[in-house]
Amino acid sequence: MHFTGTQQIKAPVAKVWAFVLDPNKVAECAPGFKTMEILGPDHFKPTLAVGIGAVKATFTLDVQLEDVREPDHAAMRGRGAAAGSAVDMVAAMDLKALAEDVTQMDWTADVNVSGTLASVGARLMEGTAQRLTAKFFDCFRQKIEAPDDATAPSTASVPSSPASESTGAQ
């Protein structure tokens, strides 16, 4: 599956960069995030619980950052396994300042889901991926656009997505 997208974030490039490169911060927005093991500045292992239709799987991902060019380009490669299923992904993003406090993120991702999840969830895969992506960026924007003194709120306190959608579109 190939995905691309463009997000506008109400924050300066440097702030977006710092957030994206911090695995702990990104992980908080990752759908179904459970645990994180940090093996190095560009190597970490998050555990995520993902469900497609009736099938639930807990993936342990091995993520490696690649081609990190501060302040505007980074890529990652990840592979994860769950019982009878596997996911392989390559993603990249480019940041561009639209204004002093507005950043555009252009991103691409190639995701291959294999095994039971692909076999029994094929019909639902694309829709699920889009839903999870939207959820991720909603959370992402909210955290990054929050005032500096309120950066680590628990996920439960994240406002609902329609509000953040309108923020992102401005």
Binding-site ranges for another protein (CB under 8 A): 81-86, 88, 112-120, 122-123
Find the shortest distance in angstroms from Cβ 93 to another protein: 24
CA 54 vs CA 97, 131, 152, 162: distances in Å: 42, 16, 32, 27
Find the shortest distance in angstroms from Cβ 121 to another protein: 8
User: ∠ at Cα 37 (9, 33), nearest 5°?
Assistant: 50
Find the shortest distance in angstroms from Cβ 134 to another protein: 23
CA 55 vs CA 33, 34, 62, 113, 125: distances in Å: 17, 18, 22, 13, 11
Q: Closest CB to another protein among 76 and 113? A: 113
Q: Closest CB to another protein among 14 and 49? A: 49
Q: Closest CB to another protein among 35 and 151? A: 35
Find the shortest distance in angstroms from Cβ 43 to another protein: 16
Q: Closest CB to another protein among 12 and 51? A: 51
Which residues does 18 contact at the CB level (< 8 Å), separation at least 6?
none
